[in-house]
Structure 1
Amino acid sequence: MSDQNSPLIEAPKRRGPAIALAVVVIAVIGALIAFALTRGGDSAGGDLTKVKLGTVGASDPYWKTLTEEAEKEGIDLEVVDFADYAQPNPALTEGEIDINQFQHIVYLADYNVANDQDLVPVGATAIYPLGLYSQKVDSVEEIKAGDTVVVPDDDSNQARGLLILQSAGLIKLKDGGSIFSTLADVDKDASKVKVKALKADLTPTSLPDVAAAIVNNDFVEKAGLKFSDAIAQDDPSDPNAVPYINVFAVRAEDKDNETYKKLIEIYQNSQPVLDGVQEVSGGTAQLLKTPAADLQASLADVEADTRAQG
């Protein structure tokens, strides 16, 4: 935001120097307030810079830890909780929050392309394995022909879930499958099970009614499940998994914001925060410090492939 000159205020005539001085003081205070309210962190009192971060699952204890660690470094962090994955990106686009952290690169690319936006990844957090869970069987082999298996309905996690089902021998995808696979790509005649898609936060609640379901990492423990209970999952250490790195994202004009860079450094280097992330993930998170330039290059590649698919 460019600096704005304070309005020229002419003091009333013959009121004396005291009133003229008061007018100048008011103008200076107004200019300071305008400066403090520029985007990139409002003044929060003292030397603290206010930052609004959006996520899904703000009740996870490590967010409180991050808030405390950030305050030590001069950042007044407010963590805003969203009910589902569809909300944080529009909120960021509209300026309701400053930064978000809930998604991987594929999800971000889908959002940007579908909405003609340019949100940018500026820091990595981790790759989390995506797992297949069941309340009816203890192994993939026990799933019967014709049973129903559920996957998330958002494009990026749906494709990833379908690839897991294919690796487990439950379905066959036309052309071998890709990060763009959908239910339409399932070869029904060659597949063992039927596949149904639900919102990501609803897949765990479907478990009493289906043979198995892909459950996003965020919802595993909230659904009373254990990460060790997964009967199948993908391999987050595979180099092809880079598009599934979870990231901090900002508006394009804020990609070089120093406050946001500092916040990401705190997240990546604070052991109490990292321990909290691992605890919530059941020890499954592969913590990363992938450079922002590499994340942005991966996003550009995935966006190009996404547009080509359209």
Structure 2
Amino acid sequence: MNPRNRNLLIAIIVVVIVAVGGFFALNHKGKSNQAATQKTVTVGIMSGNKQEQSIWKTVAATAKAKYDLKLKFVYFTDYNQPNEALLSGDIDVNAFQSYNYVETWNKAHKSDIVSVGNTFITPMHIYSKQLTKLADLKAGSTVAIPNDPSNESRALFVLQSAGLLKLNTTDVSKLVSLTDITENPHQLKVKEVDASQTPRALDSVAISVVNYNYATAASLPKSESIFMEPLNKASAQYINFIATTSKQKNNKTFKEVAKAYATKATAKEMKVQYPDGGEIPAWNLKL
């Protein structure tokens, strides 16, 4: 080969090698920068609710696709744990509670947990294995209700809405207890149990007021629901939400998590997980 042509060929090969090397180096750098800029948000949810976990997987996919967010989940078994973890900084946000619950929690713990976006609302139901309608309830029957302050208050208002007793107020924003019962025409015997045990209590009581998440976890059939809590303006306090601390309430990334939740994809997955319509999207709910 002519020396001049050989040198030209070598020069071309060197240029090609440098160009290819530069392309791969630039591509690798781009991927590295993308990985470095991807944000991770740690979300606390309850471990016992498989339906909610499926819904949050849908939210995670939306968050990654629309906001380049990675959601990392931490699972809890007790209702006190997610807020404690939030206040200690072990998680960024949590999603398990309603507004009336957090109001009671904040007062009791002198904390400042706030909302960055609504998620859903689940009406309470009165269930029974003995009755098919409330009109068949016998005098002196026993009713089970949750024993924590916020859910007990809500359950008592449900019983009032069902016409089974009267309280000293109709203002559901007020926290009531058994001492606020003014009329009990059926002489109901009220049994206070842990909220998670209200479905199991149906084996020994005539009726039980059950939170929807516990009804679902216990696979209570819809046919055993004989009354559903009415939804109105006062129900706003029962809406669930994504929570963080007041210092982080304007955190753009946390708000993006809420936006990723408030989508048609999430609503569609809710229908899949709760075909009976017990869980209702609340981000655009008109009460």
TM class by shorter-chain length? 0.7 to 0.9
Determine if contact 1:148/1:193 at 8 Å carries over to the other structure: yes
Question: Aligned to 2:214, which of 219, 234, 239?
Answer: 219
CA distance change for structure 1 residues 87 and 44 in 2, over 3 Å: closer, same or farther? farther
Q: CA deviation at 1:111?
A: 0.5
- Paired position in structure 2 for 1:272: 265
Question: Aligned runs of 1:106-117 on 2, under 5 Å?
Answer: 106-117=100-111
How many aligned positions are there? Answer: 247
Alpha-carbon separation, structure 1, partners of 2:97 and 2:166: 27
* Structure with the bigger percentage of strand: 2
| Aligned CA distance change for structure 1 residues 139 and 289 (closer, same or farther; 3 Å) | same
- 2:4 maps to which residue? none
Q: Name the amino acid aligned to 2:61.
A: E
Render the CA deviation track for 1:35-74: whole Å, top value 9, x for unaligned: xxxxxxxx99443211111122452211222222222231
Aligned CA distance change for structure 1 residues 260 and 177 (closer, same or farther; 3 Å): closer
- Please report the TM-score for the alignment, with normalisation by the length of structure 2: 0.79
| Cα RMSD after superposing both structures | 2.3
Aligned to 2:10: none
Residue aligned with 2:151, SS: helix
- Indicate the percent of aligned positions where both proteins have the same amino acid: 33
Supply the distance in 1 between the matched residues of 2:188 and 2:228 (Cα, whole angstroms): 17
Change (3 A) 1:284 1:189: closer
Q: Deviations over 1:68-109 (max 9, x none)?
A: 222223111122222232221112111121101111111111
Give the letter for the 2:87 counterpart: T
1:51 to 37, 41, 46: 41
| SS of equivalent to 1:220 | helix
Structure 1 window deviating more from structure 2 (255-264 vs 215-224): it is 215-224
**TM-score scaled to structure 1, two decimals?**
0.73
Q: Which has the larger radius of gyration?
A: 2
Which residue does the alignment assign to 1:64? 57
In the aligned structure 1, how far is the partner of 2:141 from the partner of 2:186?
11
Structure 1 contact 220–227 (Cα < 8 Å) conserved:
no
Code of the aligned partner of 1:47: T
Is the 8 Å Cα contact of residues 133 and 231 (structure 1) preserved in structure 2?
A: yes
Letter in 1 for 2:108: A
| Conserved 8 A contact 1:133-1:229 | yes
Residue number in structure 1 paired with 2:12: none
Question: Separation in 1 of the partners of 2:185 and 2:223?
Answer: 30
Deviation at 1:175, TM superposition (A): 4.1
Paired position in structure 2 for 1:205: 200
Task: Identify unmatched segments of 5+ residues in structure 1.
Answer: 1-42, 292-310
* Separation of aligned partners in 2, 1:173 and 1:277: 34
In 1, the alpha carbon distance for the partners of 2:169 and 2:62 equals 48
List per-residue Cα deviations over 1:196-222 (Å, max 9, x = no partner).
111111111111111111111112222
